[in-house]
Chain A
Amino acid sequence: MQPTRQIQAWLLLLPALCLLVAFTHYPVIKTIVRSFFGFGTRWESQATLENYRYLLEDEVLMQVLYNSFLYAAITVPVSIVLAIAMALWVNSKMAGKGILRTAYFTPTVLPMISVANIWLFFYSPEIGLLNKLLGLVGHGGINWLGDPEVALYSLMAMTIWKEAGFFMIFYLAALQTIDSNLYHAAAIENANKWTVFRRITFPLLMPTTLFVLVNALLNAFKLVDHLFILTKGGPNNASNLLLYYIFENAFSFFDTAYAAALTVLMLVILVVLALLQFGVIEKRVHYR
């Protein structure tokens, strides 16, 4: 390869690379440095493990991590099961499936923040829609966002509503690539629908499921917009999640250094998920 081609290649890459480094790699490194050298919003001249020591002692963080993992452990599988069901329905010969596809997909294109305002109304204690419905069957109503036992689950419901239709798209794409001969063969064997799903459809959707699973896990740690409207992490941190906690520390409590240590923790979680994803994708597709 001639040297001019080399130079050309680097020139083409330069603008994107500069911004990528400036807003991804540089901040990652600076976060790590700050987590060791920072104290509050100031810098110390000597490295200290103070921020990490606080990390281990912080009881709110334990609550936040527990919430984050529970949040992921419930929203991810439920969204995936719903997404598969949606994809099967939309891919079937059912009348009106175009309308259904739109209905399922609509939450994906709506801003989380705006629709959270509508959900806030559903959840509100006195006049809220859900409690009105409960009132119809004689139930006294639930404090959906104010009860520490319930608040996190109320957030999960909205997350599932937002995500399932998005994941449906990937399953829909996968379903359309399944060889119809397999279904013809199954029909000849007189296999019932459940068997067909269990023995043909589900195994062939497995690569998609793995792909969606990792993406959904990543999303579960990134999706906190609705907290700003619905609970602000409360009551008493019962519905606080890691990214929101980072935001609070940095921009409400102005403890930049501790926020940096928390970000490092978040990065570690993401890297583990990323390694998982590369392992998965490597098996699934061959990058040329």
Chain B
Amino acid sequence: MNRLLHYLSVTLAWLLGLVWLFPLIYAIWAATHPPEFATRFSLFAPLTMQNFYEAWDQAPFLRYMLNTIAITTMILAGQLVLCTLAAYALARMEFTGRGIIFALVLMQLMVVPEILIVENYQTLAGLNLIDTYWGVALPYFASAFGIFLLRQTFKTVPEDLENAARIEGCSVLAIIWKVYVPLAKPTYLAFSLVSISYHWNNFLWPLVVTNTEKSRPLTVGMSIFGAPESGVDWSIISAGTLISVGPLLVLFILFQRQFVQSFMQAGIK
């Protein structure tokens, strides 16, 4: 009886795993075989790269990908700098109103920029930043999540280290750079991976704030590419999908362990 239950549980686990991977497996199948095999499985179906070529020709993927990479990089760079400075001030400096400021920061954990698309669009239109990388990136620079995560990490750094650095004559910025940043490396890695996968996949805000392929990221590009009106067939859509998730997927497979641990660490902090 117990053995039977055990096998049942193992079977269920793998079945679920298969279901969870299935969309990806299907996309790979459809993309690498001729269109007539998109809805038909055959062991002897010929392999082809044709779908990838056609998808590549039908949408400016290279441009979209460059846009996504540029936007993701900009956001991450901005976040790392701004969050580090703010997190240090909140973790290690005493000043009037610290509690209130921290509460104001935490507020953004609930009210993410996506919900405020209407007003943020107006703000960026006022700044003439619609359809630019800056327009997509700016609302995400001050990440409450990043500030919170780094603040928690900085608090675990022994204060003696900071005092020693101060006696050596280090300025505040030098202390942050030489003492705190190196000791928080795992947190930086965790935050970076979470941020990259969030912004690589982000859709609603970029959709609102971009108009042309000049700044449109992959996700927004894919939503146009996949629209039924454009009359693309499934094999080509699958190929396009794989092109759009490819870089992130490769990154995920290479840094699988770090990815999982990063999300874990980011979640329990």
Contacts and interface: CB of A to CB of B under 8 A. Distances in A.
Interface of A: 1, 5-6, 8-10, 12-13, 15-28, 30-31, 34, 82, 85-86, 89, 94, 96, 99-122, 127, 129, 132, 161, 164-166, 169-170, 172-174, 193, 218, 222, 224-225, 228-229, 243, 246-247, 250-251, 256, 259-260, 263, 266-267, 270-271, 273-274, 277, 288
B109 to A, nearest CB: 8
B13 A100 contact: yes
13 contacts: A12-B88, A15-B85, A17-B101, A19-B141, A109-B259, A111-B200, A117-B237, A118-B27, A161-B20, A193-B2, A250-B117, A260-B118, A270-B111
Contacts of B172: 8, 12
Question: 3 closest pairs, A vs B, by CB?
Answer: A27-B119, A111-B201, A103-B17
B95 A1 contact: yes
Contact of A267 (B95, B111, B204, B218): B111
Interface in B9-30: 9-10, 12-14, 16-21, 23-24, 26-27, 30
A174 to B, nearest CB: 8
B248 interface: yes
B118 A259 contact: yes
Interface in B213-250: 218-220, 222-223, 226, 234, 237-238, 240-241, 244-245, 248-249
Contacts of B238: 117-118, 121
B267 A218 contact: no
A169 B48 CA distance: 37
Given A1-B94, A229-B223, A27 B20 contact: no
B222 A16 contact: no
Interface residues of B, number: 91
B260 A225 contact: no
Contacts of B101: 13, 17
A101 to B, nearest CB: 7
A274 B107 CA distance: 9
Contacts of B85: 12-13, 15-16
Contact of A27 (B9, B26, B116): B116
Secondary structure of the B contact surface, majority rule: helix
Given A82-B16, A113-B220, A118-B24, 9 more contacts: A12-B88, A12-B93, A20-B108, A24-B107, A24-B111, A104-B16, A118-B26, A251-B208, A263-B118
A222 B113 CA distance: 11
B142 A127 contact: no
B117 to A, nearest CB: 7
Given A99-B17, A113-B219, A120 B111 contact: no
A69 to B, nearest CB: 17
B259 A106 contact: no
B237 to A, nearest CB: 5
B96 interface: yes
A45 B118 CA distance: 20
Contacts of A165: 20
Nearest to A176: B264
